[in-house]
Chain A
Amino acid sequence: MFRPRPEGPGAAVAVSIEGRTVTVPVGTSAAAAVLAAGFDSIRETPVEGCERGPYCMMGVCFDCLAEIDGAANQRSCMIEVQPGMRISRQIRARTIDPEAG
């Protein structure tokens, strides 16, 4: 997992990760928050169902795809945490709920 550096700014923003509340420093990306919460993987791949974690952390590799505030397929490394943000792992391919409109 990732943790705040000893002399660092300290945790200040509370977010929900897979239903669990975690507090992380201001400026943390949603992907880094998932690592700080102790999760190794952030998604399961669409083809083989393999566990994946963030790889590049700069919006290039798309291995950090996650569901953020109900929207699937988000590059979680490019999205900064906001208080109350809900972050969930992306399991396989995104499914569309036709009822949701």
Chain B
Amino acid sequence: MTEVELAIIGAGPAGMAAAVLADELGLDTVLIDEQGAPGGQIYRAIERVAPDTPLGADYLAGRPLAAALRASRVDYRPNTVLWHADPEGVLFLATAGRTATLTARRILLATGALERPVPIPGWTLPGVMTAGAAQSVLKSSGLVPEGRVVLAGQGPLLYLVVAQLARAGAPPAALFETAPLENYLAAARPVAGLWAGRRRLLEGLGLIAAVKRAGVPIRRGMRGLRAVGRRRLERVAWEGGELAADYLLLHEGVIPNVQIGLALQLRHEWDEAQLCWRPAVDAWGQTSLPNIAVAGDGGGISGAGAAVLTGRLAALDAALWLGRIAAAERDRRAAPIRAALDRERAFRPALDRLCRPARPVMVPAEDDVIACRCEEVPVGTVRRAARLGAQGPNQIKAFTRCGMGPCQGRICGPVVAAIIADTLGKPIAEIGTWRPRAPFAPITLGALADLEAADFAPQVDS
């Protein structure tokens, strides 16, 4: 079995930055990623970016990262799925139906974020997608949605996608903002962070101005959003009105992608400011297991700029852990990175308050809204199971099949936990989360059978 010093999972900003620095520090590094090219979600298709890209300057920041990765000695493995990892560091990979194993002395999870599920009535209709989904399509292939496009929700990405679609020649018909008015008041409270985080604040204000310049109408304080249609989306309705629409692009912020960390049983904490689970880590990204660290948004949402920095900190710590550098050198090299990280994160508390999802986003009011898209389980079924005595997500799974479909609870997890918490009158932190298991992504029996017998041999210390 191949043995490496450091295996990094995910080639987004954190993974790319960590891999490049780890290579510089002389670590034998492998970088595993599901996509065909480096960049992650934020810098998707960055190597093919057109000179006249409508995606903007922030997107182009990913280009030097990808170039540095290509110039390094990192063993970069695209189109590769990690479907099982054991806590001792044995990784099971699948590439184009073939299986391979790898032993890593240290693992860095840089699995990024995913968009928070937005379980409104009709969210399973064709024509309803996430705002990030439309952005991904624009990044990979320059395709844009045609017809009357409505974006709804809140958060910086929502405004960014509206501005990008407008620049790409497809201005949306409307932007519906769902942030409650009290969020604006709460966000304005800590004036301290605003100055240190002024760059991010100005970026946000610039986005709002760009949306207005594009002539896209903004409606604030929208409540009771519904996607309506028979076989596909036909219109978007809200408390007090409706609008014919071909596409509804939803976005209520992003949450860490914790699937692999949960499967590895890393200790996780409920983040009440960001309303999500994240792995418990120290200032270097070190998790509750000695050989596993986390970097980037997978460890808590701070954005791509911070992800690069936490990736570098994790690489420095890995070099210390693997005996390449002394603690003094790690700390010396980390000091400027930490200063930059403080600046990146300064505006985050205000942003978290501004972008805190409204209660109906977390817990749908209507019993007939689909909670689990894969197994097609409505909210009411989850509520009934909770009343019957299912105390947490893992019991709900057995009662209702929620989380047993192909997405393995990645989408319905937050929804189901919030419904149970609401039904039982307990905090979500007490309700807990799924315990996902391998395979992390579906693999065929053929891929499994491809494993060589030697890969199963128990590791015996000689």
Contacts and interface: CB of A to CB of B under 8 A. Distances in A.
Contact of B411 (A4, A42, A61): A61
A22 to B, nearest CB: 12
Nearest to A31: B137
Contact of B136 (A26, A50, A58): A58
B140 A61 contact: no
Nearest to B141: A28
A35 B143 contact: yes
B35 A25 contact: no
B129 interface: yes
A57 B141 contact: no
B138 A5 contact: yes
A83 interface: no
Contact of A57 (B52, B133, B170, B407): B133
Given A9-B142, A41-B232, A51-B232, A61 B34 contact: no
Interface residues of A, number: 43
A17 interface: no
A21 B52 CA distance: 29
B140 A32 contact: yes
A40 B140 contact: no
B351 interface: no
B114 interface: yes
Contact of B376 (A27, A47, A59): A47
Contacts of B141: 4, 9, 24-29, 32
A27 B114 CA distance: 21
Interface in B141-172: 141-147, 168-170
A52 to B, nearest CB: 6
Nearest to A47: B376
Interface in B227-248: 231-232
A63 B407 CA distance: 9
A9 B50 contact: yes
B374 interface: yes
Interface stretch (B120-128, B181-189, B382-390): B120-128
A52 B34 contact: no
A48 B132 CA distance: 27
Nearest to B375: A47
Contacts of A28: 137, 140-141, 143
Contact of A32 (B124, B137, B169, B232): B137
Contacts of A24: 141, 143
Given A3-B143, A5-B168, A62-B406, A55 B34 contact: no
A1 to B, nearest CB: 5
Given A29-B137, A55-B373, A41 B114 contact: no
Given A55-B373, A78-B35, A1 B137 contact: no
A55 B146 contact: no
Contacts of B124: 50, 52, 55, 63
A41 B126 contact: yes
Given A2-B145, A7-B169, A36-B143, A57 B231 contact: no
Contacts of B126: 40-42, 51-53
B54 interface: yes
Interface in B1-55: 34-36, 41, 45, 48, 50, 52, 54
B405 interface: yes
Among B45, B114, B126: residue with most chain A CB under 10 A? B126
A65 B145 CA distance: 20
A5 to B, nearest CB: 4
B406 A73 contact: yes
Contacts of B134: 57
B442 interface: yes
A66 B6 CA distance: 35
A50 B36 contact: no
A60 B137 CA distance: 15
B130 A56 contact: yes
A23 to B, nearest CB: 12
A18 interface: no
A8 B50 contact: yes
Interface string B328-348: 000000000000000000000
A83 B50 CA distance: 22
22 contacts: A4-B143, A5-B144, A5-B168, A5-B170, A6-B169, A9-B142, A24-B143, A28-B140, A32-B137, A40-B127, A51-B125, A51-B232, A53-B127, A53-B128, A54-B129, A54-B133, A55-B373, A56-B115, A57-B130, A57-B133, A57-B136, A59-B441
4 A-B pairs closest in CB distance: A8-B142, A53-B126, A57-B133, A28-B141
Given A28-B143, A56-B130, 11 more contacts: A4-B141, A6-B168, A27-B140, A29-B141, A32-B137, A53-B232, A55-B373, A56-B133, A58-B114, A59-B34, A62-B407
